[in-house]
Every structure is written in structure tokens, then in C-alpha cells.
Amino acid sequence: MMTTEHFAALSFVARMGTRKKVHAFVRVKPTDNFPHEMIRYGDDNKSIDILLKKDTRRGVVNNQQTDWSFKLDGVLHDASQDLVYETVAKDVVSQALDGYNGTIMCYGQTGAGKTYTMTGATENYKHRGILPRALQQVFRMIEERTTHAITVRVSYLEIYNESLFDLLSTLPYVGPSATPMTIVENPQGVFIKGLSVHLTSQEEDAFSLLFEGETNRVIASHTMNKNSSRSHCIFTIYVESHSRTLSDEKYITSKINLVDLAGSERLGKTGSEGRVLKEATYINKSLSFLEQAIIALGDQKRDHIPFRQCKLTHALKDSLGGNCNMVLVTNIYGEAAQLEETLSSLRFASRMKLVTTEPAINEKYDAERMVKNLEKELALLKQELAIHDSLANRTLVNYDPMDEVQIAEINSQVRRYLEGTLDEIDIINLRQIQEVFNQFRVVLSQQEQEIESALRRKYTLIDKNDFAAISAVQKAGLADVNGHLVGEPDGQGFGLGVIPFSFKPGKKIKSKKTFKDQLSIPVRKEGASSPLSTKELDISPSKTQLILPPRDGDVKDMRDRETSSTEPFPSDSPKEELRPPRPSTPPSKPVAFEDFKNERGSEINRIFKENKSILNERRKRASETTQRINAIKQEIDTTKEALNVQKALREKQGEYENKGLMIIDEEEFLLILKLKDLKKQYRAEYQDLRDLRAEIQYCQHLVDQCRHRLLTEFDIWYNESFFIPEDLQVALKSGCSIRPGMVPINRVVSLGEDDQDKFSQLQQTMLPEGPESVSFYNAKVKTEQKHNYLKAITGLQQVNKK
Ligand code: ADP
Ligand code: MG
């Protein structure tokens, strides 16, 4: 057993595009005294005329229309159950197995034969109605249709006084529902939540269920004091048909609703009161709602159908009109006394005939089969690929998703390709190509980040929207009035606090410092301990070769060489030997500096001068290039303007077009060429400028380094030459690599005295212990000296900081 809600699946309705009218039949209940003068059938057996004598029912139909003619799809008079089934139901049931929903309804006043038509006389096989016959037909067709696995389920619902009853809930394995049933709508359609739906594998089971339901219908009417003629009963057969060909993932579903409506007689006639009145009201209400829905369905202009006004229409929402095959059987009495109700029933039938439906197959997709089929296809395609590969002599290409190792390998390939160490990346398959692109993106974004953080480490970045910063840059002469950085006329690139290289003539170095301070770039304290201004170090440029100054790491080597060697300086600084005797009063620092540059500092000074001249030369070139760029930019602007004038002129004079080609005169053409050329020049110059800037930056760094070195060396030399006593220098040099000139004079002097004192003290106290104690003392002195040296260095650093 399962409930209708289990029928959710991928589904759609295959529209056939053919509209169809509802088939409406009239079945006349046999009678001994058929009023031939009042009810007449047409020769085609489809029309029925009702004729009333004016005086037949005086006061009621007086002065009203007395003749009615109804054209239906068939009149079933004295028709056997067999014939009724053939005429009414056979096609609907047959099409249900092809996926079309079907609805057959019996309408009419109580006793007119609705139940007889729908269920039939259960005690007589020959008189069985549509229900058992439909079940029989379904099972017979299933047997014939060996290509399909078809399942059948049934449910039996009764609607009484707007309450829903499951007529099959008494079955031992169902039990009464704990929660009341509700009508639920979902994309698949309407279903009754809580209504039991029973799988029936054979005809006999289906019959048992039908009888069970019929019995319950009768019992319920007694025990619950129901008037069975006031209830609607809906027997539903659910069909689901899967192809036995497993590759077919489509399957179809359909349902046949067999509806035995409540009696349609009107309230006035029975004169019911109390409970009966309430029932009658309900019946009339739900049947009149059904009628309203039918009228709305028959009206092509109506797009809203009031299905939800009562349980009956709501439960039948997807079974009325829509994509269903719909049949109405109107049961009437063939008796004069019932003519009024007969008329009303026939009116309902003719209204029903106006309803059009668009029967369509309910196709669904079996997700599980779909997956299986796709898996099969995938396997097949992989085999196919393998064959292609082997035919193309490609060995064992793997088409599976890549693992981390493979992705890492592609990443490395991409990196090598970008570095230029890998010439090309072989194409293997689509997945690999996609991964290569993906890794390009990964590498690119990493590099962007690296570049940015490198720039941030080196420069202060200015937000181009930060006007305060821009104006600071302008003040420093680095940006033009438009906020463009000089040398960056296209506004591209980073807004950088670049090392200035294009000072306006006359700008002093002071302004550079101001600029640097504003941008909070740490400025090297060049020449801080020297009385000389940087300007005095400027030397006329001439050379082009870049020379690396001794780097900080190299300094120690130089010192070692200088200090550990007692030999004269190598031939590249021969002046060391010729050092004049120390004067009694030291010369002023500027004078001494000139001497230093010619003597000990000559080599560093030479390097410094050369670098400086290269720097100046590059700066000059950069400035020239910037000027050229600006000139080109100006020319671009004027050319553009001229072009616009030409264009405007052309537009004014009317354009010529030839086969979609614009015709322009020679002048305009030349301007276009010129513009193109200018842009090319512009780009080339701009590239040059960028290269120059990089060079300038590097040179500046070298110059700064040289200057620092020159000044430091000068200070050391100055101290050594004029202040530190020569014997002290020798003493200090002997133990370690200390250079006396590096130590501040006062420290050196006191250090010397301290050391001497200590040494003599040690000699006095320790030496008597014997000559073997010498190494001990030596070690002791060395340690002391080292300790003092470290202290001196720290002191020196503090002095430099100040
Ligand atoms: P309804 O369901 O419309 O109230 P029923 O189907 O119960 O009417 O019919 C009332 C009675 O008339 C039943 O006893 C039924 O057997 C009988 N009857 C109805 N239609 C026919 C018919 N076409 N042939 C023979 N008996 C009929
Ligand atoms: Mg009935």
C-alpha cells in the first residue's frame, strides 16, 4: 500500500496540441411508460428533444419555453451495460494506458441510474458497470502489452458533507487515518493526502477492492446515518507504465477517475428539513460549484477556474478539462413526472459539451534509469576515446578528473612556461587544457599579490582619489595639475611615491626631503655625522658604466684586509704610504675631506663619482623622455581634434558608403595614420621611461650607499689620522679586528687607559704565579678587549643615531 504522495517524479505533460470536446452522453433509465410525446430522439441518436404541453404543469412552466432540443454525443436508450461501456468508457481506458488521464462522471437525479451505470449490479456479472469493466480492460491490455511493465493502483474516495472518507480504509493493513485527509496540490497534480492507494497486481485483487469499497459505502450510510444518494464517490485507477527496454528512461503515468456524483435533484422538490436540508444544501452547493467550474472551463476567455470552492471540484481539479479525456453520462428517468429534473440534467450535459480539453501524455523520467544510462554511455565513450587514442598513437591518455599531484604538476608547467624555461605545454585533453587555464589564473593572481606587497614594502602607495595626497605630490613637483604623475601620462599603473627623477630645474634637494617626509618614506641619514652637505659631493658626470660600491657585507673583508695587514696598502691606493706626518693641530673637516678623497678615500670617491654621473645622466634622459612624452601627448590631442573636425565635416557633407565600407578623404586618412604612429611612439617612449625609472632607482641606491661609505670611511680616517695616538692604534689592532677610528675619540682614549691600567694591574698580581700563566692573561686581555670593543660599537651606534 502506498499513498498518492509517493508519485513525485520528474514529469512533464507532452502536449499534443489537439483540442477535444468533452463527450456527453445521456442514458435513459428503462421504463414501462415512456412518454413518447414528450421525449423524442433524433435519427442520428445524438439529439434529444423535450416537448411540454403548456398546461402540463400550470403555473410553473407557463409562458415559458416549451420545447428544448439538446445535441449530445449519444443517446443511450435501452442500452445494455455492455454497450454503455463500449460507447462511453472503452476509449478513455485504452488511452489511459498510453498516458492520458481520463475522467468519466455520472450525473443525474437520485434513482436515475448513476450507480447502476458506474458500478452496476454487483450480484449480476452481466449487469456489472463501468468500474469492473474498466479494471478488466486495464488488466487485459497489460497482458497484451508485453513490452511494458505496467502497475495498477486504486483508491476509492467518498465526499459527504464536505468531508473526505477513504472507502478502502477498512482494509486490515490500512486502518483509520489518524489525521483527516486533505487535498494537496503539487506540480505533479492534485492528490488526497491520507487516502490509501492500493497496488493491484491482478484483476481479482482489483475486484476485491471495489467490492470492499462498495460494501463500506453501504455500511457507512447505515452506521453513520448517511444518505448515500447525497455523496460523491470517486474511484481512481492509477496506471504507471515503464518500458521493459531498460535504456528507455521515459515512463508514463495516468489516472482514470470514475465519478458517481450525488443526486442532482433540487432542494425544493424533496422539501427536506433539518439534517436532510443541510445535506441537500451541500449537494446543491457542490454540484453548483461543479457547474460553475464547468461553465468556466467552457469559456475560452476565462483563465481562472474556481476549483477550490468545494472538495469535489478541488479533488477533481486535474481531472476536469485540462489534459484529460472527459466523458459525462447524464442519467435521466424516461418518465413524464421527472421531466423537470431531466431538463435540468440535460442542460448540465449540454454545458459540459462546451468544455474543451487538450489530452496529453504524462511523461516522466526515471532518474535512476537515467543515471544508469548516462553511466553506460560514459563508459562507452571512454572506450571510444581509448580506441581513438590508440589509432592516433597517443599512449594511455587519462580522462579521469585530476588529482592534487596532477594539478600541482600543471601549476609547475605553467610557472616554467611563464619563466621561459618551458617552451610549450603539450595539449593532452580538454580537462588538462581547462586546468592549464585555471592554473594560469592561479599563478597570475599570486604574482599580482606578490608585486603589490613588494611595492608596498618599498613605497607608499597613493590612492588616486585621495586628493590630499595628490596635492602633496603636486607640491613636491611630482605630479602635474591634473593629478597625473609626471612620466605616467596615461594614468596607468600605480600611484607611487616614486623616487624623484624629474625635478624641475632649480628645485633643491630640500624639497625632495620634504616630499619624502610627507610620504613617510624612511630617509637615510646621509652624512649625518659629517659637516659636509651632500651637495659638496657632487662631481661632474662623464662615465656611463655602472659601478657597484662595496656592499655592507663586503665591508668587513675590506677592514680585515686593511687592519690585519701591516703591509702598505696595495698599489691601487699608493698614497697611503706617502701619508704626511701628523700635524699638531688637526685640519678642518672640509679640508681634511678633500685630502681624504685624494688619499685613502680615492677609490670609493671614484666609484661614488661615477655612479653619481650615471645617475645624473639617467635623470637627464628621463626628463627628456618625459618632455618628449608630453609633446607626443600634445600632438596626439591636436591630431585627435583635427580628426574630429574632419569627421564632423564628413558627417555634415553626408557620408559615402560603399558595400559597407566608409569612404574618407585623404586628409582624414593621413590623420588617422599619424595618430596611429603617434600612439606607437608614445608607447615606445613610455616603455623607455619606465626602464629609465628602474635604472634611476637602482643608481640612486648605489649613490646613497657610496656616499654613506665615503663619509663613514672619512670619519674613521679623520679620527685615526688626527686624534687616536698611534701606539694606542697598534694596541687596539693587535687583539682583534677593531678599527680604532670607528670608536668615538673619548671612548678610545679612556678605553686605552683603562686597558693599560688593567693590563699592568694583571701583570703585577698574576705574573708572579709563573710563565705558564701568560696564555691565561692573554686570553683574559683578549676577552676584555673584545668586551670593550662591543661596548664601543654600541656607543658608536648610539652616537650615529643621534
Ligand atoms: P442512482 O445511483 O442514480 O441514485 P441507481 O443506479 O441506484 O440510481 O438506480 C436506482 C435503481 O434503478 C436501482 O435499483 C437500479 O438497479 C435500477 N436501474 C437504474 N438504471 C437501470 C438500468 N439502465 N437498467 C436496469 N435497472 C436500472
Ligand atoms: Mg447512486
State pLDDT tens for residues 161-201.
889 999 998 776 666 666 789 999 988 788 899 999 999 99
Cα(514) to ligand 2 centroid in Å equals 106
Question: Is there a binding annotation on residue 115?
Answer: yes
pLDDT in tens, 194-228: 999 999 998 889 999 998 898 888 877 776 666 77
Mean pLDDT of 768-772: 53
pLDDT by residue (tens digit) across 77-90? 999 999 999 999 99
Q: How far does the centroid of ligand 1 lie from the alpha carbon of residue 258, in Å?
A: 17
pLDDT digits (tens, 9 = 90+) for 713-728: 888 888 777 777 776 6
Task: Tell me the percentage of the chain whose pLDDT exceeds 90.
Answer: 28
Q: What pLDDT is attached to residue 764?
A: 56
- CB proximity list for 104: less than 8 A, separation 6 or greater: 88, 89, 92, 118, 130, 256, 257, 258, 259, 326, 327, 328, 329
Q: What is the pLDDT of residue 591?
A: 83
pLDDT of residue 39: 92
Q: Across 26-30, 526-530, 540-544, which has the greatest mean pLDDT?
A: 26-30
Would you state the pLDDT for residue 5? 40
Work out the pLDDT band at 536, boundaries 50, 70, 90: very low
What is the per-residue pLDDT across 19-30, written as a single tens digit (0 to 9) for each?
888 999 999 999
Separation between Cα atoms, residue 183 and residue 226, nearest integer Å: 22
In the structure, which protein residues have their CB atom closer than 6 angstroms to any atom of ligand 1? 29-30, 108, 110-116, 121, 229, 263, 331
- Higher pLDDT pick, 644 / 754: 644
pLDDT at 564: 37
Rounded to a whole number of angstroms, the CA Rg of the chain reads 55
Q: 114 C-alpha to center of ligand 2: Å? A: 5
Average pLDDT, the chain: 76
Assess whether pLDDT exceeds 90 at residue 245: no
Atom in ligand 1 nearest the alpha carbon of residue 114:
3
> Bigger pLDDT: 614 or 4?
614
Q: What is the DSSP letter of 333?
A: E
- CA-nearest residue for atom 22, ligand 1, is 29
Residues 212, 171 contacting (CB under 8 angstroms): yes
Non-local (6+) Cβ contacts of 656 within 8 A are 662, 663
Question: What is the whole-number distance in angstroms between the Cα of residue 230 and the centre of ligand 2?
Answer: 9
User: Mean per-residue pLDDT for 232-260?
Assistant: 92
Distance 167 CA to ligand 2 centre (A): 15
Q: What is the pLDDT of residues 271-314, one digit of tens each?
A: 455 556 666 666 568 888 998 898 888 888 888 889 999 999 99
Q: Is the pLDDT of residue 753 over 70?
A: no
φ and ψ at residue 128, rounded to 5 degrees: -65, 150
Ligand nearest to the CA of 123: 1
pLDDT in tens, 309-343: 999 999 999 888 878 899 999 999 999 889 989 99
Position in ligand 1 atom list of the atom nearest CA 121: 16
Residue 579 has pLDDT above 70, yes or no: no
Residue 16 pLDDT level (bands cut at 50, 70, 90) = low
Ligand nearest to the CA of 109: 1
The atom of ligand 1 lying closest to the CA of 117 is 6
With the most atoms of ligand 1 within 8 angstroms of its CB, the residue from 116, 119, 226, 230 to mutate is: 116
Q: Confirm or deny that 113 is annotated as ligand binding.
A: yes
* Contacts for 384 with CB less than 8 Å, ≥ 6 apart: none
277: helix, coil or strand?
helix
Pick the atom of ligand 1 nearest to 331's CA. Answer: 3
pLDDT of residue 134: 97
| All cell numbers assigned to 384 | 571510444
Which ligand is closest to the CA of 111, given by its number? 1
Quote the CA–CA distance of 512 and 393 in Å, as a whole number.
68
Pick from 701, 195, 168, 212: nearest CA to 458 = 701
144 close to 157: Cβ distance less than 8 angstroms? no
Residue nearest to atom 5 of ligand 1 (CA): 113
**Ligand 1 geometric centre to CA of 668 (Å):** 99
Residue with the smallest CA separation from ligand 1 atom 16 is 116
Q: Is 110 annotated as a binding residue?
A: yes
Substitution candidate for ligand 1 out of 26, 29, 119, 330 with most atoms within 8 A of CB = 29
- 99-153 residue pLDDT tens: 999 999 999 999 999 999 999 987 788 899 999 999 999 999 999 999 999 999 9
> Could you say which ligand is closest to the alpha carbon of residue 228?
2
> What pLDDT is stored for residue 730 in this prediction?
66
- Beta-carbon contacts of 270 under 8 Å, excluding residues fewer than 6 positions away, are 276, 280
The ligand placed nearest to the CA atom of residue 263 is 1
Residue 110 C-alpha to ligand 1 middle, in angstroms? 9
d(CA 30, CA 333): 8
Tell whether residue 56 is among the known ligand binding residues.
Answer: no
Does residue 488 or residue 347 have the better pLDDT? 347
Can you tell me which atom of ligand 1 is nearest the CA of 116?
A: 6
What is the tens place of the pLDDT at every residue in 603-660?
A: 888 888 888 888 889 899 899 999 999 999 999 999 999 888 888 887 777 665 555 5
What does the pLDDT read at residue 18? Answer: 75
pLDDT of residue 571: 38
pLDDT in tens, 685-708: 988 888 888 888 888 888 888 888
Cα–Cα distance measured from residue 185 to residue 163, given in angstroms and rounded to the nearest whole number: 18
Dihedral-angle region of residue 253 (phi above 0 means left; psi in -120 to 50 means alpha; beta otherwise): beta
Quote the ligand 2 centre to 111 CA distance (angstroms): 7
- Closest atom of ligand 1 to 79 CA is 23
Distances (CA, A) of 699 to 614, 621, 692, 706, 795: 7, 14, 10, 10, 32
Q: What is the pLDDT of residue 382?
A: 86
Q: Report the percentage of the chain scoring pLDDT > 70.
A: 67
